[in-house]
Structure formats: structure tokens, C-alpha cells
Amino acid sequence: MKYLLLASAAVIALGVGAAQARSMDEHYASALSVNIGNVESNRSAIYRGSNGVSMLRSFDGSRGVMQAAQNAGANSAIQNSTAVAALWGIELAERDPNRALATSRNRGEVHGSGNDSTLGRESRRRSTGPSLETDMTNSFGGVRGVAQAAQNAGPNSLLQNSVAVAALVFCDRGCPEVDLARAVATSRNNGNVEDNRATQYAGTSQAQMTSSFNGAAGIMQASQNVGSNSLLQNSVAVGAILPQAAAAGFLR
């Protein structure tokens, strides 16, 4: 069996003290996160038994940027990409060109000459096929920040999660009206699944998510797949300019 898991994260943060000489200031934060993957011309066979991934009581109470990828699907690819660019506590003025730029991208292909996956064995007794399952239980409870989770048990499949966050946080008091502040975020998935063959003679497929992400705050993405020759894509882009008090309240 052949599996491909790609996880990429870029985090750029710049904090500037409030007390500084006023002049022509320029603050710039840029983050880029890219995954490129290709799965092609493979062959796999599972005749009996079980193939599954499980996440139990993971990442509870975590803070920041979290990525998790679990793959039990033959000839498949999973891509997680996160880019965060932040300017924090900037003493802004109208003439100051302050910019936060974040770009997150996935590019994946599951194709080529074709991937061939077989589940079970052709016979009169078809109850002996394999079991495919993804399970996420009691995970990511109370997290704060950016979280991505991907679980796959489907052959010849592609899962992509992409998040870009650009934030410019300025001082609470004493800042004049802002004209030149920019927060730009772009998030993109390019995926292709074609010319593959999956055969299942017997068995079961199941995906479940129980008591996960309870009380979470921020940006959450979750993908679970047990379907052959499948494509799942999640993409989020957030650009924000806000005062420090509002940002601090969110992080609590």
C-alpha cells in the first residue's frame, strides 16, 4: 500500500511595543504555506481483516495552530496547509503602510496511469471482506486557534484542508484613523482524482465523529472519508484589522 500525508504550516508574527518614536514606520508580516503531492500508477489489495484510523482524546485544550492527518486508505493523499501572518500591538498612523499577508495552498493529484485498489476477494462467501473505518472521539475539545483534522480510509482518495489568516492588531487607545493598514488572506485547493479503479467485493465502510470540537473557538476543519475515488476540500481565508482588546478577548 502507498500513503501520502503532507502537512505544512507557516506562522509569522511581529509584536511592537507601544512606546516608540513616531516616524514613517512600516511593518510587514507575510506567511506562505504550500503542499504539492502526486499519487499515481499504484496497485494495492486488501482481502480481509480491518483497516482503520482512530483519534481518541487528542488536542483537548490546545492553543495555536494544530494539524492532524491519519490515512489508512491505499493509494491516497492527505494535505493540510496553514498560513498565519500577524502584526500585533502596532502603534498605527495614517501614513504608515502596515501589511499582513497570508497565503495557503494545496495542490494534489491522484491519477496518472491509474491507481488500482481491491477490497475483499471475489467468491461465493462475500461476508469475509475487510472493514474500513475512521473514528474521531472526544478530540479537539476547548481548543483555541486554527485546527485541522483529516482521516481517510478510502482508496484512491484526496483530502485537502487549507487555512490562511492575516491579522493586524493595533493599540486600543491613542491610534489615529487608519488608512494604509492592509490584511489580505488567500486560501486555495487544487485537486484532481481521475483514471482510478476501486473494487470492493465485500466488507463495510464507516466514518464517525463523536463529542469532538466541543467548546472550540477559532477556525476548525475536519474531513473524514471512507469512499473510494473521492475528493474532499476545505478552504478558509480570514483577513482582519481589529483593536488589541478584541483580539485578546478572543484568545482567552
Contact status, residue 139 vs residue 150, Cβ threshold 8 Å: no
Confidence at residue 204, expressed as pLDDT on a 0 to 100 scale: 84
Confidence at residue 5, expressed as pLDDT on a 0 to 100 scale: 45
How far is Cα 120 from Cα 118, in angstroms, rounded to an integer? 7
* Cell digits of residue 82: 496553514
Backbone angles phi, psi at 44, to 5 degrees: -145, 155
Please give the model's pTM, rounded to 2 decimal places. 0.83
Cα separations (Å) of 46 from 49, 51, 107, 155, 197?
A: 8, 9, 28, 10, 14
- Strands laid side by side in the 99-111 sheet: 28-40, 99-111, 182-193
Confidence at residue 27, expressed as pLDDT on a 0 to 100 scale: 77
Task: Give the pLDDT means over successive 10-residue stretches in the chain (252 positions).
Answer: 50 48 65 93 85 92 94 93 86 69 94 83 69 93 94 94 90 61 91 91 88 94 93 93 69 54
E strand residue ranges, 73-115:
76-90, 99-111
How far is Cα 100 from Cα 88, in angstroms, rounded to an integer? 10
Confidence at residue 93, expressed as pLDDT on a 0 to 100 scale: 57
Q: What stretch of H or E contains 244?
A: helix 244-251
* Cell digits of residue 238: 480570514
244: Cα separation from own chain's centroid: 26
Q: What's the burial of 22, exposed, middle or buried (CB within 10 Å: 0-12/13-18/19+)?
A: exposed
The CB density around residue 202, as the number of other CB atoms within 10 Å, is: 18
How far is Cα 164 from Cα 185, in angstroms, rounded to an integer? 5
Please identify which residue in the block is written with the cell numbers 502603534: 91
| Terminal alpha carbon distance of the chain | 44
Confidence at residue 89, expressed as pLDDT on a 0 to 100 scale: 73
Contact status, residue 142 vs residue 213, Cβ threshold 8 Å: no
Confidence at residue 12, expressed as pLDDT on a 0 to 100 scale: 58
How far is Cα 58 from Cα 251, in angstroms, rounded to an integer? 20
How far is Cα 186 from Cα 10, in angstroms, rounded to an integer? 13
Contact status, residue 3 vs residue 76, Cβ threshold 8 Å: yes
How far is Cα 82 from Cα 32, in angstroms, rounded to an integer? 8
What residues form DSSP beta bridges with 199? 118
Contact status, residue 206 vs residue 252, Cβ threshold 8 Å: no
* Cell digits of residue 2: 502507498
